[in-house]
Amino acid sequence: MVNLEFSQQFEEIRPYYDHEVKAAIERVVKHPQFVAVLNYLYENENVDELVQVFNRIETVAQFQDFFSSYTVKRITGLMKFLTL
């Protein structure tokens, strides 16, 4: 049995559930620093298109897939550069 007091203690830092993702994405996209973060992480990408992609994310898996695929591409590109 889960101790209710223990689970409430970590409520603010627990992972999101799928039904919470859309609202969380909407909050993040509205943050004034969001565009700056996108420009840093995706320096050669169209930020407006990335915001549209973010707005279509509805599940934790979609969010993870989006960042995972980008990270793999970036690491792969870096590895190719370093081995030249």
The yes-or-no verdict on residue 50 having pLDDT over 80 is yes
Q: Quick one: pLDDT at residue 78?
A: 63
- Residue 22 neighbours by CB under 8 Å, 6+ apart: 57, 58
Average pLDDT over residues 55-75: 85
Instruction: Please name the residues in contact with 15: beta carbons below 8 A apart, sequence gap of 6 or more.
Output: 60
Binned at pLDDT 50, 70 and 90, residue 8 comes out as confident
Is the pLDDT at 21 greater than 70, yes or no? yes
- The pTM score is 0.69
